[in-house]
Amino acid sequence: MSALIFVGMPILLLAIGMPIYLVLLTAATVGVLYLGVGPLYAIHTAVFGSLDSFPLLAVPLFILAGDLMARGGIAQRLIELIMAMVGGIRGSLGIATIGSAATFGAMSGSSVACVAAIGKLTLPSLEKAGYGRNFSVSMITATGVIDVIIPPSIPMIIYGIAAQQSVTQLFLAGIVPGLIIAVALALYVMLHARRLGIPIGEGPRLSIVLPALRRAIWALLAPVVILGGIYGGAFTPTEAAGVACIYAMVVSVHIYRELTWADVWRITIETTALVGQIMILVAAAGAYAWLIATSGFPQQVVSFVQELHLQTWLLLLVINAVLLLVGSVLEPPPAILVLTPLLLPVVTAAGIDPLHFGLIVTVNLAIGMFLPPFGLNLFASHALFKTPLEVLYRGVIPFLFIYLAVLMLLTYVPAVTLLPVQWMK
């Protein structure tokens, strides 16, 4: 009966098109009524209790900071600087696009915002350089999910809350995987540029780099302030998100003068609408997670998995497949909130570090964002750049293999994620 309520019924309700927050609330309500694990008003307590979390404040603040940086000139100046610095090698413009996405990720953690900001600024230049529109849009679509992995990452914050893990340590664990993915993508772009015969660009010149550096100096300080403050112990990730918002407002309005305070207010209202959607999911998932924990269903799942006598490598392979499948139809926040209570007891019983598992979850769900046919970034690029979905489905396949290769590396070599955390300790 528990399996039908916690797994079967949500799948059925999703299949008929019910919104995910209603799916979770329905499962929680039915579970309380039929399993008798507590009074019905406990759902009310769990819903509001899940929102009473200081680390959760970082989510809306980082989303707002990312929107302000994307529209206030900070992201644009960073991209212009990177494009001015990367030259003299074949594929330099593609490498600059990847570097820009990774840098933007170090400030915002919003993948769709990255696709929009990076794509609008680099797509015309990529087409002019001979990369072709289809390849360029596919690269931007796949590269944008680096923002989910490079800290500060909104999915990592949500996983940290759901799994009761340190968000700062999760950020540390995400640095190396994010850089490995960026390097792997850059190497592929260089090979592709050689295959296309794209000419070697002019090397960086001081006459171009220095003006770009002067224009971008305030933008460069943004990731230094955010990440430096977190790892230096000056403030928590939540406080860093607030600092990022204030910094983005001051720089965009008073230094770059790309926004007015009226624009800041309008962007804040737009961000609030998005945050409201996320918080409804968090609240509903809180009730669902409370019921799962109270019912003892995770212990049943752990016992079932142990009876299968799966080796750890095979268990991780199965979990990766499940996460990829879920990530292709659900955005990372709801996927994390739904799956963490179910999977974390299983991997913990198998001796897998929760921080390591957090990165496995994050990278899987990042890949799911551009995994055909339902990845969110595919639809975002389709809407932004008017590229047919069938073209995007074919175009992202090489990038998909690169991400999967890195996923296998960090899945089976825990040191990739855990060494930075251990070194910091």
> If you average pLDDT over each of 150-159, 194-203, 212-221, 397-406, which comes out highest?
397-406
Mean pLDDT of the chain: 83
Instruction: Answer yes or no: are the C-beta atoms of 78 and 220 closer than 8 Å.
Output: yes
Instruction: Answer yes or no: are the C-beta atoms of 400 and 370 closer than 8 Å.
Output: yes
Q: How confident is the model at residue 201 (pLDDT cuts 50, 70, 90)?
A: low
Can you give the pLDDT at residue 298? 66
Q: How confident is the model at residue 409 (pLDDT cuts 50, 70, 90)?
A: very high
Can you give the pLDDT at residue 364? 93
Q: How confident is the model at residue 358 (pLDDT cuts 50, 70, 90)?
A: very high
What is d(CA 366, CA 111) in angstroms, rounded to the nearest whole number? Answer: 9
What is d(CA 211, CA 197) in angstroms, rounded to the nearest whole number? Answer: 30
pLDDT surpassing 70 at residue 3? no
pLDDT surpassing 80 at residue 293? no
**Which residue has tokens 């918002």?**
245
* CB neighbour list of residue 400: distance below 8 Å, 6 or more residues apart: 142, 367, 370, 371
* CB neighbour list of residue 389: distance below 8 Å, 6 or more residues apart: 373, 378, 379, 382
Model pLDDT for residues 45-101, shown as the tens digit of each residue: 888 887 877 777 887 888 888 788 878 888 778 877 877 777 667 778 888 888 888
> Tokens in use for 54?
């200081």
**Which residue has tokens 């993915």?**
181
- Domain range enclosing 104: 2-424
Model pLDDT for residues 91-137, shown as the tens digit of each residue: 788 888 888 888 777 666 567 667 777 777 778 888 887 888 899 99
Can you give the pLDDT at residue 78? 80
Q: What would the mean pLDDT of 199-203 be, rounded to a whole number?
A: 69
Q: Which among 62, 45, 98, 103 has a CA at the least distance from the CA of 333?
A: 62
Statement: the pTM of the whole predicted model exceeds 0.95: no
pLDDT surpassing 70 at residue 143? yes
Structural domain total, the chain: 1
Can you give the pLDDT at residue 360? 94
Model pLDDT for residues 224-273, shown as the tens digit of each residue: 888 788 877 788 888 888 888 999 999 999 999 999 999 999 999 988 88
Can you give the pLDDT at residue 70? 76
What is d(CA 210, CA 213) in angstroms, rounded to the nearest whole number? Answer: 5
* CB neighbour list of residue 317: distance below 8 Å, 6 or more residues apart: none
pLDDT surpassing 90 at residue 382? no
Which of 41 and 189 is assigned the larger pLDDT? Answer: 189
